[in-house]
Amino acid sequence: MQEIKVLYEDNHIIVVVKPASIPVQADKSGDIDMLTIIKNYIKEKYNKPGNVYLGLVHRLDRMVGGVMVFAKTSKAASRISEYIRQKNVKKRYLAIVNGTMKVGEKKVLKDYLVKNERLNMSKVVSKDTKGSKECELEYEVLRNFEYKGKKYSLVDIDLHTGRHHQIRVQFASIGHPLYGDIKYGQKINKVGQNLALFSYYLSFFHPTKDEYLEFKFMPNELDKKDDIWDVI
């Protein structure tokens, strides 16, 4: 059984750290996915016979790691999904972007995106473009640094909407594609680099208790060597 990092678990929810490169749910690649990994973990830990219920209430792109919550009951799944619709679930990301941005700079990025299903890519378009969806995020530049002779910036992101590849597209559109992003920074990144985007913070109300939960896990806490996150 594949090991997982569990940050919290009770009868209704389980909060884990999703490694980068593992899909949230089964896809055409046939690779092991988070839903299957966690179901196997629950089945083995509690010696459960038959199928294990596990509700998927939010997602992270395959190449993005970070904190995720899964529902162990349908009641929890319904309530957390409603919290998300009401924007009562808070998520923050760390990203390493190419180039030097001004340390301490705080800005809101508002754009309209259109997704190309065939290419599995999104792009920034004008407001009146057919099929476009509004997106918004707020960021703060934490620090600048060099890694293997190149200049980068570490950015803290408060994601206000959750559009397809939103963070990656918006930062590429202002000339600072994410480290390792081959789709949106193919002219500056190299094949084989890991995408430097990590969901480090997640908070929400417990679905059955009068309790507000907060979880934080930093990317440099992962057991990896020679990784760009090690420099932060």
**Active site positions, annotated:** 61
For the range 19-27, what are the long-range contacts, defined as Cβ-Cβ under 8 Å and sequence gap of 24 or more?
19/65, 19/222, 20/62, 20/63, 20/64, 20/65, 20/194, 20/195, 20/198, 21/62, 21/63, 21/194, 22/62, 23/62, 24/56, 24/59, 24/60, 24/62, 24/68, 25/56, 27/62
Distance (Å) of CA 226 to CA 61, 154, 170: 23, 17, 28
Q: Report which residue type is found at 49.
A: P
User: Exposed, middle or buried by CB within 10 Å (0-12, 13-18, 19+), for 223?
Assistant: exposed
**In this structure, what token pair is assigned to residue 102?**
């001004």
Q: How many residues does the chain have?
A: 232
